[in-house]
């Protein structure tokens, strides 16, 4: 059983810590250490002054973004027991102690006291493949979200500049659609280019699947567009830039998906082992689950992914 509880309030450049001596029920003064190797070694030196037995310590780090990740990995690699503290729970505990002000010093002491309560998430150094897979899948999810936002911006811009374009191209972020919009970002550009140039652009972008027929429809739509031509100089530039960003972002997503697939194939699973889902979706689930035995109940497993329905009523 731990004799010392260490609460660490993390920040970008300096962390603050407080040590709760459970035997004497006393607290050390709050001390700070830099976020670098010298600072982390300073923390180890301070702990060793209290005890050389690492089992005597339980260290709690509040889950506040990525600032505490390097410290957690460092302490775990030195065989200390580290747990993650829920920020909401920490905030409620601090308020229950009558400490309305929020400072790093108050937080560090509150975290050390909070460790006496149970049900904190124990941390461990994960399998390297799963660790990198989780980083990739989360990054991919962020980029897919960004791409959806850009597509919505493109829809909105074209609804003013060239609303008829969406009737010709139902999928605005397709390779062919984006290539055309980057080169001819508006009805006047398409009308001026003419059917021959538009057809050639379509053939190249679609690898021969599209050509004269679609070019004719586009030019006719451009010539009869109800778009606000007065705004074309600004909106056309916006369309071209949005198109370029979507092309670049889609390429980046493709690169990350390849990395995800390469890592997934290092795991003892095959996509066909699962009833549904592509590799990216399966990789997300597996990397977030890590060890399924860490979920005592099905409800906890489902709530980890936000799949637990809740009832709200007065």
In the chain, which residue ranges form alpha helices assigned H by DSSP? 37-50, 69-77, 87-96, 104-114, 128-161, 165-168, 175-183, 187-206, 212-223, 232-264, 279-289, 298-304
Range 217-221 average pLDDT: 95
Q: How confident is the model at residue 91 (pLDDT cuts 50, 70, 90)?
A: confident
The number of residues making up the chain comes to: 314
Least confident of 194-198, 248-252, 308-312: 308-312
Cβ count near 75 (within 10 Å) = 24
- Both tokens of 37, joined, read 């190797």
Mean pLDDT over 118-142 rounds to: 93
Nearest to 212 by CA among 198, 222, 225, 191: 198
**For the residues 260-266, what does the mean pLDDT come to?**
95
- Residue 308 has a pLDDT of 54
pLDDT-based confidence at residue 64 (cuts at 50, 70, 90): confident
pLDDT at 264 over 80: yes
Residue 101 pLDDT > 80, yes or no?
A: no
From 41-45, 148-152, 157-161, 226-230, the region with the lowest mean pLDDT: 226-230
Q: Poorest-confidence range of 9-23, 163-177, 269-283?
A: 269-283
pLDDT level of residue 294 (50, 70, 90 thresholds): low
- pLDDT digit string, tens, across residues 169-203: 988 999 999 999 999 999 999 999 999 999 999 99
**Sequence-distant contacts of 137-143: CB under 8 A, at least 24 apart:** 137/260, 137/280, 137/283, 137/284, 137/287, 137/288, 139/256, 140/253, 140/256, 140/257, 140/260, 140/280, 141/284, 143/249, 143/252, 143/253, 143/256
The reported pLDDT for the residue numbered 96 is 78
Whether residue 293 is predicted with pLDDT greater than 60 in this model: the reply is no
Q: What is the mean pLDDT of residues 210-227?
A: 94
Q: Residue range 283-302: average pLDDT?
A: 70
81 phi, psi to nearest 5 deg = -85, 120
**Cα 71 from chain centre:** 20
Fold of the 4-125 domain: Nucleotidyltransferase; domain 5 (3.30.420)
Q: Burial, 126: exposed, middle or buried (Cβ in 10 Å; 0-12, 13-18, 19+)? A: middle
* Residue appearing with tokens 């982390």: 40
The position carrying tokens 């592509």 is 278
For residue 255, what are the CA distances in angstroms to 27, 134, 294? 50, 15, 32
- pLDDT computed for residue 176 by the predictor: 95
Question: Mind giving me the DSSP string for 93-128?
Answer: HHHHTT--S--HHHHHHHHHHHTTSS--EE-----H
Predicted structure pTM score: 0.82
Q: Is residue 228 over pLDDT 80?
A: yes
Distances (CA, A) of 45 to 26, 40, 48, 52, 276: 20, 9, 5, 10, 51
Q: How much is the mean pLDDT over the chain?
A: 89
Look at residue 24 in the predicted model and tell me its pLDDT: 94
**What's the token pair of residue 191?**
């009308």
Residue 305 has what pLDDT? Answer: 52
User: How large is the average pLDDT for residues 73-78?
Assistant: 97
| Residue 67: how many other CB atoms lie within 10 Å | 16
The residues spanned by each domain of the chain are 4-125, 132-188+226-261
């Amino acid at each position: 059983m731990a004799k010392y509880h260490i609460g660490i309030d993390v920040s970008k450049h300096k962390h603050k810590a407080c040590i709760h001596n459970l035997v004497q029920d006393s607290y050390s003064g709050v001390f700070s250490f830099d976020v670098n190797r010298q600072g982390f070694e300073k923390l180890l030196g301070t702990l060793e002054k209290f005890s050389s037995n690492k089992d005597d310590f339980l260290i709690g780090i509040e889950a506040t973004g990525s600032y505490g990740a390097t410290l957690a990995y460092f302490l775990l690699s030195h065989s200390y027991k580290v747990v993650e503290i829920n920020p909401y729970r920490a905030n409620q505990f601090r308020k229950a102690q009558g400490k309305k002000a929020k400072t790093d010093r108050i937080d560090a002491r509150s975290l050390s006291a909070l460790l006496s309560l149970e049900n904190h998430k124990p941390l461990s150094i994960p399998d390297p493949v799963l660790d990198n897979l989780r980083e990739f899948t989360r990054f991919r999810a962020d980029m897919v979200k960004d791409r959806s936002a850009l597509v919505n911006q493109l829809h909105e811009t074209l609804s003013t500049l060239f609303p008829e374009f969406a009737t010709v191209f139902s999928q605005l972020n397709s390779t062919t659609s984006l290539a055309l919009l980057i080169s001819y970002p508006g009805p006047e550009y398409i009308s001026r280019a003419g059917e021959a140039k538009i057809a050639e652009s379509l053939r190249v972008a679609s690898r021969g699947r599209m050509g004269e027929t679609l070019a004719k429809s586009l030019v006719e739509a451009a010539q009869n567009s109800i778009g606000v031509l007065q705004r074309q100089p600004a909106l056309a530039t916006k369309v071209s830039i949005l198109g370029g960003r979507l092309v670049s972002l889609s390429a980046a997503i493709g690169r990350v998906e390849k990395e995800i697939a390469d890592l997934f194939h290092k795991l003892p699973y095959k996509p066909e082992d699962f009833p549904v889902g592509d590799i990216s979706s399966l990789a997300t689930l597996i990397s977030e689950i890590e060890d399924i035995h860490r979920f005592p109940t099905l409800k906890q497993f489902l709530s980890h992914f936000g799949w637990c329905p809740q009832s709200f009523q007065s």
